[in-house]
Amino acid sequence: MLAFTQVLEARRRIGDLVLRTPLREAAGLSQRVGLPVWLKCEHQQITGSFKLRGASNALLALDNEARARGVVTASTGNHGRAVAFAARRLGVRAVVCMSNLVPANKVEAVQSLGAEVRIVGQSQDDAQREVDRLVADAGMTMVPPFDDANVIAGQGTLGLELMEQAPDTTVLLIPLSGGGLISGVALAAKTLNPDIRVIGVSMERGAAMQASLGARHPVEIEELPTLADSLGGGIGLDNRHTFAMVQAMVDEVVTVSEDEIAEAIRTAYFEEGEVIEGAAAVGIAALAGRKVRPSGPVIVVLSGRNIDMQLHARIIGGATPDIASGAAHA
Ligand SMILES: *Cc1c(COP(=O)(O)O)cnc(C)c1O
């Protein structure tokens, strides 16, 4: 398990590369819940998600030789953006491997952040094989999206900010997929306040960590299209860090439906004026859907804003898009 000092070290390292994002009260939600509800506006982070914290820390932890050889990832989402951005800022070569199926807008998003894109094969597995080849043949370093000590410590810096910005909080609602975010945040928050409750929120359609907790070991579950696309994917059958950390430190995991996610995206927009992606909406969805019953001030982490704006417009117009058609992944 990681030590709290690794989170402090991460903050010292990444200080200038990431924003300290605002925490502000959500009046409408507070009224509905009957308790103060605070929003951690991490969707306003550079690159549009908290992933920049972990990626920056992982890159800064490399020695000079590893930096010279560069980094590689197969992520086309928020982690890929974060690695691309941090690498450019630090003058490190970054290669993002993608399959032919990845839509052009995602390819361009990563390219415009300065990374090299390598398009190989027809699946995410093909892209990952190219990553493995670059690690083996070119000595590049793979930066994992969640199951990595430096990545977790970097995400933990968000927890430090929460505890400074609202030390009297009793409950944290954190979007949960591979568990890098919640592991780092729980480590920081529980070190500073052992009584704080940390609740993970996943989507019903593919809650891999919840299924793994139930089985008491990492399990694979079927991946389904969801509005919370940044929460997709498994936790890795050979999980090294996050499964044990979630088991040890997360008090509860709850899930929300696609309708509840769509409704939460609307709440964020109409009540709070915030554009957030589906993965970032799950905390609001859990509160609004009474999946959690807090007894004191709550912080909801809004983890990202990278949603297709056509899709966002349809949701704002009142729809729960037909995710089964794959529209959410457009
Ligand atoms: C990656 C991501 C998450 C989930 O983080 P994990 O560390 O995989 O649990 C949540 N929200 C957004 C916007 C993300 O990009």
User: Which of 40, 43, 51 has most ligand 1 atoms within 8 Å of its beta carbon, as the pocket-test mutant?
Assistant: 51
Listed residue (175, 177, 215, 171) closest to 193, CA to CA:
171
Rounded Cα gap, residues 5 and 23, in angstroms: 24
Bridge-based pairing of strands 94-98 and 116-119 is: parallel
Q: What is the pTM of this model?
A: 0.96
User: Which of 85, 177, 229, 249 has most ligand 1 atoms within 8 Å of its beta carbon, as the pocket-test mutant?
Assistant: 177
Q: Write the single-letter amino acid at 74.
A: A
Listed residue (74, 81, 72, 129) closest to 98, CA to CA:
74
Please spell the DSSP secondary structure of 222-273, one letter per residue.
Answer: -----S-GGG-S---TT--SHHHHHHHH--EEEEE-HHHHHHHHHHHHHHH-
Q: Ligand 1, closest atom to CA 48?
A: 13
Measure 160 CA to ligand 1 centroid, in angstroms.
18
Of 125 and 175, more confident: 175
pLDDT in tens, 1-43: 899 999 999 999 999 899 999 999 999 999 999 999 999 999 9
Q: Residue 68: CB partners within 8 Å, gap ≥ 6?
A: none
Ligand 1 pocket, Cβ-based, cut-off 6 angstroms: 49, 51, 78, 146, 175-182, 230-231, 277, 279-280, 303-304
Q: Is 237 exposed, middle or buried (0-12, 13-18, 19+ CB in 10 A)?
A: exposed
Residue 53 three-state SS: helix
Region 58-82: mean pLDDT is 96
pLDDT in tens, 202-256: 999 989 999 999 999 999 998 889 999 999 989 999 999 999 999 999 999 999 9
